[in-house]
Structure 1
Amino acid sequence: MYDDAFLNRLEAGLRSALPLWGLAADALLRLLTISENATFLAEAPSGDAVVLRVHRPDYHTSDEIRSELAWVDALRADGVAPTPEPIRTVDGGLLGGFEDDGAVRHVAAFAFMSGREPEPGDDLASWYATLGQITARLHGHARVWGRPDGFRRKTWDFDAMLGDRPLWGDWRAGLGLDGPGRALLERTAEALKRRVGAYGAAPERFGLIHADLRPANLLVDGERLGLIDFDDCGFSWFMYDFAASVSFMEHEPFIPELQEAWLSAYARAAPVGAEDVAMMPAFLMLRRMLLTAWIASHAETPTAQSMGVPYTHGTLALAERYLTRHA
């Protein structure tokens, strides 16, 4: 999917949409990242940089994307978290787009935010403490914010992750998963279903979250930690935001240290009960199985290709450990 011909076609389509933001069709345009969406950097006539996110078709509706951007606008207006400003089109809209291979690709634009992704060589625990404080503020805002009419975002509950309506594919199709492995994950899924069912989805536990605050979506610049890419924001358990923040590295030995830093900082800004803390292993396992499904259903993406079968094998090891310790 992501060969040169596809990328050239995507860039050509985006260039046709650049005038919607007052950008010349021949503006300097550079691909930043590509996964499910493609993100480009363009230079505005003023010299300012504009980040353009080209959405994949048939995932988010235009109403869902506008709802995401409405929350980002509100977070910025209320001083909750450092995150890039959505840039409106010349006619005041939040979305542009272009037709690609018979489908409409929505495009959202953002002001450029400086910084780099936190790296393993950094003091990650310190950054995760900062992230815990910011996440608590996000959740506090979500609890009281008056969402605009027509607000639509996906709900990340058990059924949407591992159950009857999986948004990222069936975990049973995990790359390299054999019969015994499938049976192990079936037992794990059943244990998780019981666990989250008992925990419940009361308003103090379940609401609007970012749902993807992993290092790739964090920007460090000096002492500032910026948040980007609210594309997966939706309704889920508040404590699940930590599990999402350690995506693709759930197996690393330093995860307990990051969790302690995150929880301690979070608790200084918002209440955290003993039952919330006790749910952390379940949410980590839930996220790991969800990503195992995502890798299988998005095998064409660079991220999935870099993880592959070894990630599934790691999921099996974590599932055995989870069932031994927690089920």
Structure 2
Amino acid sequence: MTEEHDDARSAPRGTFAIAPRGAFSLEASIRFLEGFPPVTYEAPAARTLDFAFALEESWLTVGVSLEQMGAEQAGARRPGADVSGEVRGRVFAERALKRSELSAVRAQVERILSLDIDGTGFAGPGGVGDRDPVIGAAQRRHPGLRPVCFWSWYEAAAWAIISQRVRRTQAAVVKQRLADELGTPVLVNGVARQAFPAPAALARLEWMPGLTVAKVERLRALADAARRNDFDSASLRALPRDEALRSLETLAGVGPFSAELILLRGAGDPDWAPLNETHLRLAVADAYELDAPPSDEQLAEISAAWAPFRTWATLLLRTQHEDDLADSDAAR
């Protein structure tokens, strides 16, 4: 009986397909996630992305397994190659899903991988990479890489609170501990994938090593706001940017830096160079061979050439900068 139950839990509850518009490499997304502390992701296979998350609005916990079809995947290693093969997903959950829930899963995966955006104007002919040689060089170095967002605006907000005034590696341990103790596991291809706790579970948080009393209170307040669906990624993206940022700053413990993180890396706003991100200024100074980190005016002038993909260009420059620092440390 137990084996039959486990088999049922491991069986996919539905499938979907996404046709990327413009260059996209799932392998590049996987490599990015493996070096992204907030996720602490370990790939089961080089070309498969398996993870679990709470579905926005209903907050049902689901799992997905993604693969990219065709020879384009291998072509991701060749500069300028077409890496736009179809992305196919299988959905896993404890129960059968409604059609509307399957559609919501697909939409959330599209946002997570920045596949809800037509990217032909980013790396294609006449696109941002052609207009700005620095970005073009970064695109050739990381072909098909698009921003990989947090699984939801809510999870991005939780990370913003957890990571305040602590090292990212320490914050990542705390976030994973929350997932392990309060999250719901989902069997994806027979392997348990632990999701970050849904709002109802996080609202019960009383104490956790590595969290101050203030952070616990802020996480519970965030959980209450998510349970009420005060925000959702689509609505945040639809608002004028200044209004969206101001609304996010009404959350306890969320200031300008955190609001930008939630909007750009949670809701997936594709076109903003965060003014409160110190690491971006260092990356820009390095890539454009500036004598010092750019001022607000310089950053606005340089990033204007990246529109309407300023968030995407930001990710490439930061990734390139971090790779260069890692290479430099390894050479010592």
TM range (shorter): under 0.3
The two structures have a TM-score, normalised by structure 2, of: 0.26
The two structures have a TM-score, normalised by structure 1, of: 0.26
